[in-house]
């Protein structure tokens, strides 16, 4: 059994996923990916290559690995879509009213943007760590048609899953090479998100201070 080499929680995760796939077969890989959608800290960049590695050993076929992991992605995405639907616009606006530095208008602008670009966001979002799970929630909030959401999720997930499953299948016991490059991508996404949040906070604070200064001068 191949394991991660750092002796950390990742090793335990990899061992558990491999054991699940060896016991249940390809559906175990699908279950692991469905859970990864619900809990983004679980790294699909590790689970998917392990599915490819297990397929290369003959536990199941490559086609089964691709089919079940993509099915797991779609199921997990629909569960988060349902969460967004339950949340709804009214509840989201009520939550935003209680959050410092956020305005209800921010929700309306985001909804307007998602109405125009939601299809691209759902498709390409499936290929971006962290966002690949979270993008399902706003799709549910704006109630994107289920058929459209499902097709875009299926297409985007198929691209992402195929890339990593094939990498594990081809690399075999050297599957962890994929992890290095996947980690770089994830760090870039996290850094970009942190910069965007920081820029938003600074801009909003300046806006509030400017408005207060105008009121004091009046």
181 Cβ contact partners less than 8 Å away, ≥ 6 residues apart? none
Residue 3 lies in a domain: no
Output the pTM of the full model. 0.75
Inside any domain, residue 87: yes
Residue 105 lies in a domain: yes
Average pLDDT by stretches of 10, the chain with 218 residues: 49 71 85 82 77 85 93 93 88 77 72 83 84 84 92 94 89 66 62 64 65 57
Q: What is the pLDDT of residue 4?
A: 46
C-alpha triplet 128, 133, 137: angle, nearest 5°? 125
Q: Would you say residue 1 lies in a domain?
A: no
**How many angstroms separate the most distant Cα atoms in the chain?**
77
- Give domain status of residue 72, yes or no: yes
Q: What is the pLDDT of residue 218?
A: 57
Task: State the pLDDT at residue 45.
Answer: 78
pLDDT computed for residue 161 by the predictor: 92
Residue 4 lies in a domain: no
Contact 132, 160 (CB under 8 A): yes
- In a domain? residue 2: no
Say how many domains are in the chain. 1
pLDDT computed for residue 2 by the predictor: 45
The boundaries of the domain holding residue 162 are 9-217
Q: What's the pLDDT at 113?
A: 80
Indicate whether 188 belongs to any domain: yes
């Amino acid at each position: 059994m191949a394991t991660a080499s750092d002796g950390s929680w990742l090793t335990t995760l990899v061992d558990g996923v491999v054991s699940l796939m060896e016991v249940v077969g390809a559906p175990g890989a699908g279950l692991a990916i469905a859970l990864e959608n619900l809990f983004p800290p679980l790294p699909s960049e590790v689970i998917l290559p392990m599915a490819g590695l297990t397929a290369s050993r003959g536990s199941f076929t490559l086609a089964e690995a691709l089919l079940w992991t993509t099915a797991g992605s779609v199921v997990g995405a629909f569960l988060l879509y349902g969460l967004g639907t339950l949340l709804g616009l009214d509840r989201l606006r009520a939550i935003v009213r209680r959050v410092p530095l956020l305005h209800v208008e921010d929700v309306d602008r985001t909804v307007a943007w998602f109405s125009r670009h939601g299809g691209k966001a759902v498709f390409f979002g499936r290929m971006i760590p962290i966002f690949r799970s979270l993008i399902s929630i706003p799709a549910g909030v704006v109630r994107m048609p289920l058929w459209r959401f499902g097709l875009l999720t299926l297409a985007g997930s198929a691209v992402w899953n195929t890339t990593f499953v094939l990498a594990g299948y081809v690399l075999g016991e050297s599957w962890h090479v994929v992890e290095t490059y996947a980690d770089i991508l994830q760090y870039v996404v996290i850094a970009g998100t942190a910069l965007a949040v920081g820029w938003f906070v600074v801009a909003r604070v300046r806006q509030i201070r400017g408005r207060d200064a105008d009121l004091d001068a009046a």
